[in-house]
Each structure stands twice: as structure tokens, then as C-alpha cells.
Amino acid sequence: MSGTVRAVVLDIEGTTSAIAFVKETLFPFAEGALGGFLRARGEDPAVAGLLAEVRALSPGEEPEAALRGWMARDEKVTPLKALQGLIWRQGFEAGRLRGHLWPDVAPCLRAWAAGGIALRVYSSGSVEAQRLLFAHSEAGDLTPLLSGFDDTRTGPKREAASYAAIAASAGMAPADMLFLSDVAEELDAAAAAGMAACQVVRAADGTVASGRHPACATFPEVAARFGLPAPDVPPSG
């Protein structure tokens, strides 16, 4: 490891945002809107292409039924995540959804970006959904701070090759990058690729430290542990 962090790669669910927001707000919103969305937008080229992927992955089953089955099992299937992102876009743009962030997150992201740290997102949610959450967050539009977005099209989150690909895309050595996640197996994969790894252990989400990686409860703790710029004003709330 180089010891100097030049970039931070962020997980979302359980790391920047509450697990409850994803499971109790975003997922039910997409499930409730799915049928109407497919009827209204099913012929759009982008949506039709995703439905073709669904049919290829679940032959002999109606796409809506396959999608609802994946939703019920919370499967990380790429066309499902992409369609959820398109549905959430309508909700965010209509003002029916706002992206939850823990209060300590935005001040640190602003401080890190101002200090020259590159910020990227890697989540199982689609790039579309990632952009929407940060563009319509409770702390305002944070997308200008973010230099890259990756989802499962880059690769599975528990495989080291995915993190190597992210580093290559950023034009950096993995040793110059820090990955933040609540999931130990994802951190294992990032560390295997050569990245620094830190588990974000949010008490409100019930995360339990694995003992395999450094663990921090807040982003200011991450900043202190890894020598990143600290926010000027401590977050409230």
C-alpha cells in the first residue's frame, strides 16, 4: 500500500445512505410503479433493450413476472437495476423522492473533493440510480463532486477484478484508492485488488464489524483514520 489516498470509492446502501431508505422507500416505489411504467414506456428503445435482456435471462417467463420475482428476492440482476433506475428517475424528477444521506456524508465529500481527492461511486444499483440519488439528495446536488460511477456492468462487487477495472478506469493504481462499504465481502475483494478498505459500521443499520478491515462509524472517522481532509463545520443531526 502507498499510504496516500488519492481517490475514495463509495458504496451507497449502508454506507452513504440508510439501508432502510433503499428497502423501505426506493424498492417499494419501483415495485408499485413497475406495471404502469412498462405499459407506458415498454416500446422505448432503452426500455425495450432492457426487456430483451430480461427475456434472455428468464426465457419462457413474462418480463414483468420475472422482474417482480427478482425484486421479491432482492437479486442483483443488471436489467432489473437499470429499470429500477429509470422508474426512480421519474420519482426524483417529480419531487416524489429525495436521496437520503447520513448527515456526516455531504460535508466530508465536499471537503475531500476540495482537497483534491477523486470521488467515485460503486453500487449494485444502476449508474442511473446512483446519479439520481446524489443529484436529488437531501444535501443538494452532489454530482459535481463525483468523477465516476460504476455498477454491476463493471463486474460483481465481490470479485477483485471489478475493483481492478475501476482503478484502471480512474487511471490510478489500486493502492492509491480507498473503498468504503458496509459489506465485508466487498471489502475483501477490494483489498485483494490492492485497494485500501474500510468498513462503515452504522449502528442504525445494524452493521457488525467483521474484524477483517478497519472499521469507522462515520465519514469524519474515516477522514481521521486515512489522512483525508476534515470538513470545516461538523455535521449536525
- Of 73-82, 178-187, 217-226, give the lowest mean pLDDT range: 73-82
pTM over 0.75: yes
126: cell is: 444502476
What's the pLDDT at 233?
A: 57
Return the DSSP state at 22: I
d(CA 12, CA 32): 23
**CA nearest 117: which of 177, 165, 195, 163?**
177
pLDDT tens per residue, range 89-124: 999 999 999 999 999 999 999 999 999 999 999 998
Confidence of residue 235 (pLDDT cuts 50, 70, 90): very low
Cα–Cα separations (whole angstroms), residue 185 to 171, 192, 207: 25, 11, 13
CB 104, CB 33: distance < 8 Å: no
**CA nearest 15: which of 175, 190, 169?**
190
**CA nearest 89: which of 146, 128, 47?**
128
Cα–Cα separations (whole angstroms), residue 84 to 31, 73, 124, 197: 8, 14, 12, 28
